[in-house]
Amino acid sequence: MAEHEEVLNLEEIALQARTVLLQLLKVAKASEGDLLVVGCSSSEVCGQKIGTASSGEVGRVIFEALYKTASENGLFIAAQCCEHLNRALIMEKKAAKAFGYPIVNVRPQKKAGGSFATAAFETLAEPVAVEHVKAALGIDIGDTLIGMHLQDVAVPVRTAQKTIGDARVVCARTRAKFIGGGRAIYNEDLM
């Protein structure tokens, strides 16, 4: 176990993760069955440079907190792997099938995929990997670059909880594209 990890309060980290998601949901206008993409650097949570101090325990605690909260709110979750697996995602097989995402064959591990994605693979009932998603909302913990997995019009969401451990948190929701120009009338519920 890394020296810094010993001083981390895992219960506090779980609470911070849950709080971020609940604050995002207050703003995001999420619907049951929507997809939440999450990227998480356990190294950054532990106060280290991304990719240098992966913590299985931290990855597991954060994934379990987010997965439980997402499930309680009717959301599917996709855990983004690190760059060594080309930021593939781990999700439930039924979600991949529901969204029509082709399944690829890879199993994340601590040093290739990351601790967070590994925790997802070990926690989900029927985990699978997919290469790309178009999620309705997302959480980026520690600068993991989730933007490639959000729907086309992403809108930043500012949450009061700005960190998980030592990692910065950036959240996003998405909205429908505006089309039609100056004469168009827009549905406020889709903004």
Rounded to an integer, the average pLDDT of 165-170 is 97
Residue 184 is assigned to a structural domain of this protein: no
* CA atoms of 139 and 146, how far apart (whole Å): 8
Cite the DSSP H helix spans in 113-169.
115-123
Rounded to an integer, the average pLDDT of 70-88 is 96
Residue 191 has pLDDT above 50, yes or no: yes
Residue 83 has pLDDT above 70, yes or no: yes
Residue 77 is assigned to a structural domain of this protein: yes
Query: Which band of pLDDT confidence, cut at 50, 70 and 90, is reported for residue 3?
Result: very low
For 9-30, b where at least 16 C-beta lie within 10 A, e where not — what string?
ebeebbebbbbbbebbbeebeb
Number of structural domains (the chain) is 1
Q: Count the Cβ atoms, other than its own, within 10 Å of residue 183.
A: 5
Q: Which residues contact 92 (CB under 8 A, 6 or more apart)?
A: 76, 124, 125, 126, 127, 128
Residue 155 has pLDDT above 60, yes or no: yes
* CA atoms of 114 and 112, how far apart (whole Å): 6
Which of 16, 11, 30 minimizes the C-alpha distance to 157? 30
Residue 4 has pLDDT above 60, yes or no: no
pLDDT digits (tens, 9 = 90+) for 8-58: 899 999 999 999 999 999 999 899 999 999 999 999 999 999 999 999 999
Query: Which band of pLDDT confidence, cut at 50, 70 and 90, is reported for residue 154?
Result: very high
Residue 38 is assigned to a structural domain of this protein: yes
Look up residue 181 and give its DSSP letter.
G
Residue 70 is predicted with a pLDDT of: 98
Residue 191 is assigned to a structural domain of this protein: no
Residue 1 is assigned to a structural domain of this protein: no
Query: Which band of pLDDT confidence, cut at 50, 70 and 90, is reported for residue 5?
Result: very low
Rounded to an integer, the average pLDDT of 148-161 is 96
Using a 10 angstrom Cβ sphere, with 0-12 exposed, 13-18 middle and 19 or more buried, the burial of residue 51 is middle
**C-alpha neighbours within 13 Å on the C-beta side of residue 130:** 24
Residue 87 is assigned to a structural domain of this protein: yes
Residue 144 is predicted with a pLDDT of: 96
Answer whether 58's CB lies under 8 Å from 43's CB. Answer: no
What is the sign of the dihedral through the CA atoms of 154, 23, 170 and 16?
negative
pLDDT digits (tens, 9 = 90+) for 90-111: 999 999 999 999 999 999 999 9
Return the CATH number at 110.
Answer: 3.40.50.10360
Domain containing residue 95: 9-176
What would the two tokens of residue 141 be?
């913990």
Residue 190 is assigned to a structural domain of this protein: no
Query: Which band of pLDDT confidence, cut at 50, 70 and 90, is reported for residue 7?
Result: low
Residue 186 is assigned to a structural domain of this protein: no
Strand 76-80, strand 89-92: pairing:
antiparallel
Look up residue 24 and give its DSSP letter.
H
Q: Is this structure's pTM higher than 0.85?
A: yes
pLDDT digits (tens, 9 = 90+) for 97-146: 999 999 999 999 999 999 999 999 999 999 999 999 999 999 999 999 99
Residue 1 is predicted with a pLDDT of: 42
